[in-house]
A and B are shown apart, each in its own frame.
Chain A
Amino acid sequence: MKMMNGNEAVARGAFEAGVKVASGFPGTPSTEVMDYTQQRYPEIYCEWSTNEKVGLEVAIGASFAGYRSLAVMKTVGLHVAADALGGAAGSQINGGLVLVVGDDVGRIAGDDYNDVRHYGNMFNIPVLEPSDSQEAKDLMIRAFEISEEYSTPVILKITSVICKTTSAVAIDDNITYKVNCRQKYKVSFSKVIMTTMMMNAKGSEHPKLTKCFNDFPAHMRQLAADSNDFDINKLELNGKKIGVITAGTPYFYTKEVLPDASILKLGMVMPLPEKLIRQLAEHVEKLYVIEDGHDIMEKNIKDLGVKVIGKELFPKFPDMMRFTPDIIEEKLVPDAPKRTLMEGIPFRLPVSCAGCSHLFISQILRNHKIKAAADVTCGLIGCFPHMESYSLQKCMGSSIALAHGYNVATDHKEKFVGMIGDGGFWATGINGLMNLIFNDSQSTTIIVDNSCLAMTGGQHVASSEFGFNYKPENKLEIAKVCEAIGVKDIVTVDAYEFENLEKAILNAVKSETNSVVIVQKPCVTKFKLPKGDAYSIDQELCTQCRKCINIGCLAIESKKGTDGKVEIVINEDLCVGCGLCSTACKFDAINS
């Protein structure tokens, strides 16, 4: 037995399944699936692709070549890749194709809550969901078997709870890597093409056409029928009072709080095993559905005509983010004691790491009241109310096009700036830049080049100087690409050269043409940059105006001294000596 978290277990499953190609894009909570696969199983080709759509397309191509392939992403990333999934769903699969998708249930990592199972309904493809690390490994292997047997992509849904929970996994150290290759179809067109040919074309019975056809509804019906006998769907008939249909970690919450309940625990949440559901419904007086996230199993079960209690009792998103044992106890255990959190405990807003280049940019935008959009980047912390540097922030890669839209609507009279990280730029932001050039827009873009995807823990991007498949000659230069796209005015500046950076941003905003400011400074946390001398605050000179605190630096805090008096202090363990706070102080109280 080995202790593994869910991400480690999925990576192990990929190894045991003989996966040849793993691609995808980082995103909490599932980033580490790829990190572990790359570190531990060098036999598997791994790549962080430029975005999730590209990642999934790579996996689809590898699958067509006959090899087992996996694409990893978080659910918001699958929104980006959904078009690719739609093309693969319903078409013939050669090598098994599995999407490992991380659902941030409970918004533990901070997403709005999306539920990947919607894609199972929308594209008519199976979804598997583990409830602990052992199952994460086992279902990974099973997902490939189902993919090949029923000729369909399969989604393995993992959640922030599964990803971050460590439990024992049975590991056979004698298992060696054996690449799994399978050749079946010479062609595989998207179901749109096949069904068009089958339904509309005269002579569609021609063998050259029929070999393209994939009767995917029949495969799904067969899978649904077979799933009644799958050992990953477990019917535990106990007491007759309460029955629960559940999946994932809510299975364990249910077992703990309702030890006498009869339970149907689904390892495959889509399609549903109808016979088992009816068997449980007949066995119990009351049948509940306990599922994290949206009411997806519940609706599908109600569609079968089976009476179940779900959101009538357990309000779903957005009223409830995720199940906990406490919620089940409160609703289903009479006289359960009520326990409440102490009132008035202050909450913790996220702040940036000390010395982060984003702090410099946020500070300049705020000082000069420049209107700007942030992206999905560490810099989005600048949107929070203690900083208020940005007034707009949406999805990954969006800020450039958001700013362009604002500027064309306001006839370019206000210069709205788009700030984007290097990760967001390569992911989809580059499309926004190309778009504004050929549409003759005069927007300003700030690209923060910190040499990695900092927010998810420092994975490499196209302009990094490291990476799984890194070669110096293949490194993409942001400035060169901007130039080739046709940006007229490009300036590159070091984030810590405050006056130069300020000048560069102000010039870019004033510029009559489109402009890009590339702000360079490697991520302080990922690259552990050498620290300068720590700064400190002279309490005699400090007026407690808190301009330094509003920078949003982790190292600056207000503290009650031993005499009970509040002081603004710099934590010298955290301070990296970047000096930004000293530029904010009007009273010359901050010095190194």
Chain B
Amino acid sequence: MQDTGKNIIIAGVGGQGILLFSNLLSKYYMKLGYELKISDVIGLGQRGGGVESHFRYSTKPVLSPFIKAGDVDYLLSFEQTETLRYLHCLKEDGIVFSSTFELTTSSVNTRLEKDMPESKTELIKQSGKKTFIIDPEENKSPDFDISKMMNIVMLAIYAEFRGYSHEEMMQIVRESVPEKFVAGNLKAYEKGISIARAELTDI
């Protein structure tokens, strides 16, 4: 059956390359001829704030730029506190892809509030949704800096999960990132493929 469209929330904190991620993904869907609306709600991202991108593609014109809570098919998150913020937005059969990376919030750092006592990774796993957890520590590589390129790793994992052409996706990466970063980004992409192939069977 043809895919008529999906609603995706991409979440994380400033500096994780969320805008690049949604930009790369939008180029892939444009090539496939989908209609798109992408809303990048930046907030004070550069200064340690949360970043969320609402990404919608469809065979029909996309209406609302924001995805209603309960309508999210995929949550792709690069920071696990941020993952928790959007779990309630997922559809019953929605799927979570989350990094275990965590940037302690400034409110917890300065003891304005207490951190959650539970393990955030466990909270995500127990959400009742299908989850795919990626631990950047376990996947460190000498070839690229995973702390900066989790977005590209995630892009590969998502592409593998959806059965998309890695060749085309890598071509988009090549055309979109500055030349001096291409090699590192492609290494990150390949790492994403291998993580996905080894572990996606869980979903």
Q: Which residues in A have some Cβ–Cβ distance to B below 8 Å?
A: 3, 5, 108-110, 132, 160-161, 164-168, 249, 252-253, 255-257, 324-326, 329, 337, 339-342, 344-353, 378, 381, 385-386, 525, 546, 549-550, 552, 554, 556-559, 573
The answer to whether the Cβ of B105 comes within 8 Å of any Cβ in the partner chain is yes
Whether A557 contacts B103 by the Cβ 8 Å rule is yes
The answer to whether the Cβ of B116 comes within 8 Å of any Cβ in the partner chain is yes
Whether A249 contacts B110 by the Cβ 8 Å rule is no
Residue of B nearest to A29 (CB): B42
* For the complex of A and B, 10 pairs with smallest distance between CB atoms: A386-B110, A256-B63, A349-B106, A350-B44, A165-B65, A346-B105, A325-B68, A252-B63, A165-B39, A339-B69
Q: Which residues of A contact B62 (CB under 8 A)?
A: 167
Nearest CB on B from A491, distance (A): 29
Q: Which residues of A contact B148 (CB under 8 A)?
A: 573
Q: Which residues of B contact A341 (CB under 8 A)?
A: 85, 88
Residue of B nearest to A162 (CB): B65
CB pairs A–B below 8 angstroms (18 shown): A3-B26, A161-B39, A164-B39, A252-B64, A255-B63, A256-B64, A325-B64, A337-B70, A341-B88, A342-B87, A342-B88, A348-B49, A348-B106, A348-B107, A350-B44, A351-B106, A557-B109, A558-B109
Whether B48 contacts A386 by the Cβ 8 Å rule is no
Q: CA–CA, A386 to B104, complex, Å?
A: 14
Q: Which residues of A contact B39 (CB under 8 A)?
A: 161, 164-166
Whether B37 contacts A549 by the Cβ 8 Å rule is no
Q: CA–CA, A132 to B65, complex, Å?
A: 9
Given the known A-B contacts A168-B35, A339-B88, are A556 and B68 also in contact in the complex, defined by CB atoms under 8 Å?
A: no
Whether A109 contacts B43 by the Cβ 8 Å rule is yes
Whether A350 contacts B47 by the Cβ 8 Å rule is yes
Which range holds the interface residue count of chain B? 35 or more
Given the known A-B contacts A164-B41, A165-B65, A557-B104, are A549 and B46 also in contact in the complex, defined by CB atoms under 8 Å?
A: no
Which of chain B's residues 83-119 have a Cβ closer than 8 Å to chain A? 84-85, 87-89, 102-116
Residue of B nearest to A349 (CB): B106
Whether B37 contacts A256 by the Cβ 8 Å rule is no
Q: Which residues of B contact A350 (CB under 8 A)?
A: 44, 47-49, 106
Nearest CB on A from B6, distance (A): 15
Given the known A-B contacts A253-B66, A256-B63, are A351 and B30 also in contact in the complex, defined by CB atoms under 8 Å?
A: no
Given the known A-B contacts A108-B43, A161-B39, A166-B26, are A347 and B113 also in contact in the complex, defined by CB atoms under 8 Å?
A: yes
The answer to whether the Cβ of B177 comes within 8 Å of any Cβ in the partner chain is no
Q: CA–CA, A351 to B105, complex, Å?
A: 10
Q: Which residues of B contact A559 (CB under 8 A)?
A: 102, 104
Which of chain B's residues 26-43 have a Cβ closer than 8 Å to chain A? 26, 30, 35-43
Q: CA–CA, A573 to B16, complex, Å?
A: 12
Nearest CB on B from A405, distance (A): 29
Whether B104 contacts A339 by the Cβ 8 Å rule is no
Which of chain B's residues 105-162 have a Cβ closer than 8 Å to chain A? 105-116, 123, 147-148
The answer to whether the Cβ of B77 comes within 8 Å of any Cβ in the partner chain is no
Q: Which residues of B contact A326 (CB under 8 A)?
A: 68-69
Whether A3 contacts B30 by the Cβ 8 Å rule is yes
Q: Which residues of A contact B64 (CB under 8 A)?
A: 249, 252-253, 255-256, 325
Nearest CB on A from B35, distance (A): 7
Q: Which residues of A contact B81 (CB under 8 A)?
A: 345-346
Residue of B nearest to A160 (CB): B41
A252-B64, A345-B85, A346-B115 given; 4 more Cβ-contact pairs under 8 Å = A324-B66, A325-B68, A349-B107, A557-B104
Nearest CB on B from A96, distance (A): 29
Q: CA–CA, A255 to B65, complex, Å?
A: 12
Chain B 42-86 against A: per-residue CB contact (8 Å), 1 yes, 0 no? 111011111000000000001111101110000000000100110
Given the known A-B contacts A350-B106, A556-B109, A557-B104, are A339 and B70 also in contact in the complex, defined by CB atoms under 8 Å?
A: yes
Q: Which residues of B contact A345 (CB under 8 A)?
A: 81, 84-85, 116
